[in-house]
Amino acid sequence: MTTRTTEMFLVRHGQTSANVARLFVGATDTPLNELGLKQAELVGARIGELADISSLYSSPLQRALFTARAIARNIGLDPIIEAGLAEMNFGAVEGHNIDQLALQWPELMKQIRESLDADIQFPEGESRRQFHNRVRTTLDAIATAAQGQRIVVVAHGGVISSAVAQILGDDPGQWQKYSVDNCSVTHIELSTSKPVAHLINDVVHLEVLNVEHASLPNTP
């Protein structure tokens, strides 16, 4: 008998005003904007077309949780809140843009742009290493609990980029290779041999909105 693999559908939350302004907003609990609410409904309908979804996990931050609830209405499952899925904590840098970061923390800005050092840390926030370890530990625990099932995980741009890089065996410092748009779908199949990425940053369900997708600043 063939053992069923674990399938993980990773969904980034809908757009927020902070995304549009390109602010460093990780731990700050910002709501979805008007477009983000529409995106959440569309990705909810997209996920609703999938069969045999057994679990729905979400970051506790409202931008992710509102997106997860839109999905929940389509699949009939309540979101399981998982604190480890929260976005990177940027500490004192929260709410600032790239220009403000360069002005107030020039040395940090230089390190972020020129180095892949995992121990670079945001003042009063997380280091890259702490963040990537948290993401890996959280996703490993979720995958173990959902072994052989199809699950949905609603999280943040940095979390998904870090997760995909690590799951596919890449250096999480190369997270930009796996950057994702608001309410995109990334489909990873886990196995005992080698994980397979069926989709990364798929946004076909959002084409009806006919808008450009806002990206986060360079974060982890």
pLDDT in tens, the chain (220 residues): 345 799 999 999 999 999 999 999 999 999 999 999 999 999 999 999 999 999 999 999 999 999 999 999 999 999 999 999 999 999 999 999 999 999 999 999 988 887 788 999 999 999 999 999 999 999 999 999 999 999 999 999 999 999 999 999 998 887 778 999 999 999 999 976 889 999 999 999 999 997 655 445 545 5
Which positions are catalytic?
Answer: 13, 87
Count the Cβ atoms, other than its own, within 10 Å of residue 174: 12
Pairing verdict, β 80-81 and 6-12: unpaired
Q: Rounded to an integer, what distance in angstroms lies between the CA atom of residue 131 and that of residue 220?
A: 8
> What domains are there in the chain, each with its CATH number?
6-209 (3.40.50.1240)
SS3 120: coil
From the list 136, 215, 123, the residue with the least C-alpha distance to 176 is: 215
Both tokens of 32, joined, read: 């979805």
> What sign does the CA torsion over 112, 180, 61, 149 have?
negative
